[in-house]
Amino acid sequence: MRTARTATSSCAPSGDCNLSRITIFGAGAWGTALAITYSAAHDVALWSNDAVHAGLVRGSRTNERFLPGASIPDTVRVEADITAACEGMELAIIATPVAGLRETLQRLYDLAPHVPVLWVCKGFEAATGKLPHQVVAEVLGDTGYGALTGPSFAQEVAQGLPCAITLASPDIEFARDWASKLHHNRLRLYANDDVVGAEVGGAVKNVMAIAAGISDGLGFGLNARAALMTRGLAEIARLAEALGGRRETLMGLAGMGDLILTCTGDLSRNRQVGLALAEGRSLPDILRNLGHVAEGVLTTQVAARHAADLGVDMPITRAVHEVLGGRMAPRSAVEQLMARDPKVE
């Protein structure tokens, strides 16, 4: 078993001498956006498990497959060899979908078992129903770790547009330390110690984005969208509490902020799924043409299962689950939700 060597201290082009060597695992949209952002102040490597894709990105300094139009600085090392990517690493950021998280962690553990880890994937592991931090703890043990989550589109981050997100870790000092080290004048980080609440917010808001896309696609209007988002936030908070999170976390960036962005922004993949469902397109066709992973599809299944097991009332999640499974028409699902008996809020 091999550990990463200590990086040599040096200064970034900006003059910042508190430079860290960061390896980003996953050369999709988010991995590329973070590599672009952090290369201004850190030594960054971007790893792809596809050697052909890595070669194209390295040669063109663009990622036309996942983040077209964004220019990747020459200082970013693009690697297909994971051993080379880990050389000198001081921080690992995993930017794969949730489905690739465990495998990437296992490979990382073999090369650098004690390096701190952050991740940007949002959802549940399909087979186990576990949140990402549970998978990380299971594979890496007591290594310092945290989730980067909140209202953020990769395209805008790559363009250097202002953004604020949460770095959530069960160790608040770890969260504060890395939030400080990764602070960027266009990507502000807020430390939080409620990793469960932050992750549930980041995962289940994708379910609500599918619902909002369906409602908008059917022309139900802005009032209906606002109702879905508000009641959706209540569902997310109930599930977060049942899983051990804090309700107040869902009032911040990792909950309300992410929900607003994903339900209203046209760059949202999950919103696009809902819009396409409203057009009558089949789910396999939608996912085939999307070109990216829409985490909300698998998240819906796991969230519905958790809700049933824990006795948590999640009517919007149940309705989306029925639509995705082909057991209910999109219009019927929205109409059924709006026709529910009145309750005290």
Catalytic positions, written as ranges: 205
Q: Please report, as a single letter, which amino acid is at residue 331.
A: R
CB-side exposure of 251: number of CA atoms within 13 Å?
3
The answer to whether 165 touches 179, Cβ cutoff 8 Å, is no
Beta strands in 28-159 (DSSP E): 43-47, 62-63, 67-71, 77-79, 91-94, 117-119, 145-149
C-alpha distances in Å from residue 98, one per residue of 16, 43, 106, 156, 206: 33, 25, 14, 22, 13
3-class state of residue 207 by DSSP: helix
How far is it, in rounded angstroms, from Cα 331 to Cα 121? 30
How far is it, in rounded angstroms, from Cα 234 to Cα 169? 23
Cα angle at 113 between 108 and 115, to 5 degrees? 90
Which of these, 109, 86, 105, 87, lies nearest to 95 by C-alpha position? 105
Dihedrals phi, psi of 231, to nearest 5 degrees: -70, -30
C-alpha distances in Å from residue 328, one per residue of 36, 165, 223, 322: 43, 35, 23, 5
Which of these, 38, 72, 28, 48, lies nearest to 178 by C-alpha position? 38
* Other beta carbons less than 10 A from residue 106's beta carbon: 11
